[in-house]
Amino acid sequence: MLGHPQSPEPKINNKNSNKNPSDRVFVLYTPRRLVSGIITNVMSIKTLGYWLVKTEPSTYSIDDLARERSTLWEGVRNYQARNYLRAMHSADRVLVYHSGAHPAVVGEGVVVGAALPDQSALRSASVYFDPRATKENPIWCAPKIRFVKKFKEPVSLVHMRTVPALAALKILAKGSRLSVVPLTQAEYQCVTSLALQNGKLSKRSSER
């Protein structure tokens, strides 16, 4: 049996062997440990996570991510946001949000590696230096995020506030300052749909 060299061969119940071969009933007995292994593997399949990460475009923009193709998401210095970074896994989907004068979701990324120690916390010349961090206890972490796309038209914070399906979006909460927040799949899909609609409207306007 594939994957189990020492497993017994599947048994075939062939009690009706005296009948015409085409009328025989075959019952396949699968080894119990193989079935158990299949169930374990299915149960271990992880559901995708969805996230929104904020960045100041003058510091690091979606264009920078597009140019570099991927980056370690360094510089997060809030414990709750750090915990969210730790919870990220490869293949999780990410919305990139520009904060600042024109806050908006501007593109998509994907997590390509679990969070690693944020080395910027250990570099004294870095603006993200934290004197409490050590190699043994780096405190902060940084997952690797790969560029997926830049939206043709961003989805502004003002626009998102008008969409009922996004009423529970964490960045819309009063006083919300976290630079990393989880999303539901529905919220993620809603924002990307809005981006697609904005792009189509912009194209129609330019063709007039």
**Does residue 132 carry a pLDDT above 60?**
yes
Asked whether residue 171 is domain-assigned, the answer is yes
Q: Are residues 69 and 163 in the same domain?
A: yes
| pLDDT tens-digit series, residues 34-93 | 444 544 454 445 689 999 999 999 999 999 999 999 999 999 999 999 999 999 999 999
Average pLDDT over all residues of the chain: 85
Buried b (16+ CB within 10 A) or exposed e, 138-166: bebbbbbbebeebbebbbbbebbeebeeb
- The predicted pLDDT at position 43 comes to 44
Q: Are residues 108 and 29 in the same domain?
A: no
Strand partners, 146: 70, 110
The answer to whether residues 94 and 108 touch, using CB atoms and an 8 Å cutoff, is: yes
Q: Are residues 25 and 105 in the same domain?
A: no
Q: Are residues 132 and 199 in the same domain?
A: yes
The answer to whether residues 112 and 88 touch, using CB atoms and an 8 Å cutoff, is: no
Strand partners, 141: 117
Strand order in the sheet with 93-98: 70-72, 141-156, 104-117, 93-98, 50-55, 180-183
User: Which residues have C-beta within 8 Å of that of residue 160, sequence separation ≥ 6?
Assistant: 105, 166, 169, 171, 172, 191, 194
Q: Are residues 140 and 103 in the same domain?
A: yes
- Domains identified in the chain, total number: 2
Residue 129 lies in domain: 50-207
CATH at residue 112: 3.10.590.10
- The predicted pLDDT at position 23 comes to 52
Asked whether residue 5 is domain-assigned, the answer is no
Q: Are residues 148 and 173 in the same domain?
A: yes
Q: Are residues 24 and 114 in the same domain?
A: no
pTM for this model (two decimals): 0.76
**Does residue 107 carry a pLDDT above 90?**
yes
Q: Are residues 38 and 115 in the same domain?
A: no
Q: Are residues 130 and 188 in the same domain?
A: yes
Give the pLDDT mean for 119-148: 97
- State the CB neighbour count (10 A cutoff) for residue 76: 25
Give the pLDDT mean for 135-144: 97
Which comes out higher in pLDDT, residue 33 or 123?
123
**Does residue 7 carry a pLDDT above 50?**
no
Q: Are residues 38 and 103 in the same domain?
A: no
Asked whether residue 26 is domain-assigned, the answer is yes
Give the pLDDT mean for 181-189: 98
- The predicted pLDDT at position 113 comes to 87
Asked whether residue 4 is domain-assigned, the answer is no
The answer to whether residues 122 and 100 touch, using CB atoms and an 8 Å cutoff, is: no
